[in-house]
Amino acid sequence: MFISRVACVVLLISLSVHLSAAQATLLDCLNATNATVIDQSSPAYSTQRLVANQRINRTPAAIALPNSAQAVSEIVLCCRKFNVSAVPRSGGHSYEGYSVADNSVVVDMTQGFNFYEPQGDTTAWAGSGIRLGSLYYEAWKEGGEVFPGGTCPDVGLSGLLLGAKGGGGGNFGIVTRMHLQMYPQPNTTTLIYLEWPASEAVQVMQLWQAWAPTAPDAMTSNLQMAQYGVQMHGLYSGPMSEANALLQASGLLNVSGIQYKQYNEQPFIQSALDFGAETTGISTSSPINLMLGPNVTEWHNSWKAGSYDVPTALNSTVLNLMQQAVNQNSNGWIQFSAYGGQISRVPSTASAYAGRYSLYNIQYSIGWQNPSDTQPSMAWFAQLQQTLNPYMVNSAYVNYIDNSLQNWETAYYGDNLQRLQTVKQTWDPTNFWNNPQTIPLP
């Protein structure tokens, strides 16, 4: 439950780059840059245009994969010259697919900017195209340092960090690299899995929300409520005996009907491997470099999700409404992620994300594979949102971006919105960098 200092190098435009007037078309211009260009006639186009969420089906004009900051500048200038949108992409996990747009040029950073360069102190430079799994693996290989990120190894580092710290998501420009504060690897970690039947979900949630946000910094956890029941996943930076003592004190282990309980005391990198296996489907017996290396591929399906920041504990009425909702659809779930710790020690005005004061964040989501499930799944989501809105504050997490969210500007940025709009006005007065939910000009 902590964040890391990160300094970013943002490439807005390089005035030293010049384009030849002889470049008559957009593709001529792009092919003259130092980038791999995939246009609509390329065999790789049909897969390269896709993002993680298969609900999104868009057709960009081209995908450009730069291998230098100079190439990024050249691609952006080509787009400006031909009045075409440039859309940055690192992990491709934008919930609304904002890392691809129709008739745009996708600037894909995963080929030339997936590097990790330790600096011989407690910091490292990382490229904006590196994924979390690759970062964890490379840091472990280089000397056992760790970085506080997420559990999904295929998620791009830059989208994760900039959503919380800098209002990223294609608002102001393209980040090429980031200077990270790294941390020593814990001597050991304890991975925690607990599961209860659906009948105990409300009681489990009440105990968890009273305990998790104020648990010691070494303990982080989330709950997931679904039709099958409620699960808790946790990670404790320390031995199993200490983790068990904390859980005993929480009262969670005293809830009747516990169906599953497992503690794994193991090195951090193994815990990262085990968490990642849940989202990728790769067996935990696979070689660790396959799981955490640059070729990790997540299960891709269709989904719709949204979020709420929760500043005060929810009462049983709201929790019962949530339980009723997930009981109606086996593909829907609600996840509760504890805040507190270092997250809440950073002032809400210190970065773009204003919801640090919360006890926890709720992500509500539904996923499906069959296109025929799209309409009923979206209807379930809309009904849940309508049911919960009266009980929630207008605050949400931008990395769970949702195009159906009302007043999304203030929900995502709170009192920081006006300052972010000033930045937008200064660095992008023509609104070149835009999607349906980028920071608006003042």
Question: What does the alpha-carbon distance between residue 132 and residue 138 come to, in Å, rounded to a whole number?
Answer: 10
Domain identity same for 121 and 181: yes
User: What's residue 143's pLDDT?
Assistant: 83
Out of 185, 219, 244, pick the residue that ends a domain.
Answer: 185
Give the range of the structural domain holding residue 49, as residue numbers without chain letter: 1-185
Sign of CA dihedral 72, 297, 336, 275: negative
On whether residue 235 sits in a domain, the answer given is yes
Instruction: Note whether 219 and 315 are same-domain residues.
Output: yes
Considering the domain architecture, whether residues 13 and 156 belong to the same structural domain is answered as yes
Read off the DSSP letter of residue 270. H
User: Does residue 82 form part of some domain?
Assistant: yes
Report which DSSP code applies to 433.
S
Strands 174-181 and 123-127: antiparallel
Residue 425 lies in a domain: no
- Maximal C-alpha separation, the chain: 75
Tell me, yes or no, whether 437 lies in a domain. Answer: no
Residue 146 included in any domain: yes
The CATH number given to whatever domain includes residue 246 is: 3.40.462.20
CATH of the domain at 108: 3.30.465.10
Residue 43 CA: distances (Å) to CA of 39, 48, 250, 298, 349:
9, 9, 55, 22, 47
CA-CA distance, 231 to 195, in Å (whole number)?
4
Q: Residue 313 in contact with residue 209, Cβ under 8 Å?
A: yes
Contact of 231 with 355, CB cutoff 8 Å: no
pLDDT at 127: 95
Task: Give the pLDDT of residue 275.
Answer: 86
Is 426 among the domain residues? no
How far is the C-alpha of 251 from the C-alpha of 255, rounded, in Å? 7
- Residue 396 shares a structural domain with residue 305: yes
Give 396-410 as a DSSP string.
--GGG--TT-TTHHH
In a shared domain, residues 278 and 237 = yes
Predicted pLDDT at 14: 41
How distant, in Å, are the alpha carbons of 26, 27, 49, 271 from that of 79?
Answer: 7, 10, 17, 43
Domain boundary among 160, 185, 210: 185
Note whether residue 402 is domain-resident: yes
Q: Which of 368, 155, 187 is nearest to 265 (CA)?
A: 187
Q: Is 315 exposed, middle or buried (0-12, 13-18, 19+ CB in 10 A)?
A: exposed
The closest alpha carbon to 430, from 13, 26, 8, 100, belongs to 13
432 neighbors 339 (Cβ within 8 angstroms): no
Are 154 and 288 contained in the same domain? no
Task: Indicate whether 441 belongs to any domain.
Answer: no
Q: Are residues 281 and 257 located together in one domain of the fold?
A: yes
In this structure, the answer to whether residues 269 and 394 fall within a common structural domain is yes
**pLDDT tens for the 442 residues of the chain, in order:** 333 445 555 554 443 445 555 568 999 999 999 999 999 999 999 999 999 899 999 999 999 999 999 999 999 999 999 999 999 999 888 999 999 999 999 999 999 999 999 999 999 999 999 999 899 999 998 888 999 888 888 888 988 777 667 667 789 999 999 999 999 999 999 999 999 999 999 999 999 999 999 999 999 999 999 999 999 999 999 999 999 999 999 999 999 999 999 999 999 999 998 888 876 767 666 767 666 665 555 557 899 999 999 999 999 999 999 999 999 999 999 999 999 999 999 999 999 999 999 999 999 999 999 999 999 999 999 999 999 999 999 999 999 999 999 999 999 999 999 999 999 999 999 999 999 999 999 9
Does one domain contain both 180 and 194? no
What's the number of domains the chain is made of? 2
Cβ atoms 399, 390 nearer than 8 A: no
Same domain, 199 and 176: no
How far apart CA 56 and CA 51 sit, in angstroms, is: 7
- The string of pLDDT tens digits covering residues 233-252 is 999 999 999 999 999 999 99
The answer on 202 and 54 residing in a single domain is: no
State the pTM of this model.
0.92
pLDDT in the model for residue 13: 45
Do 385 and 240 lie in a common domain?
yes
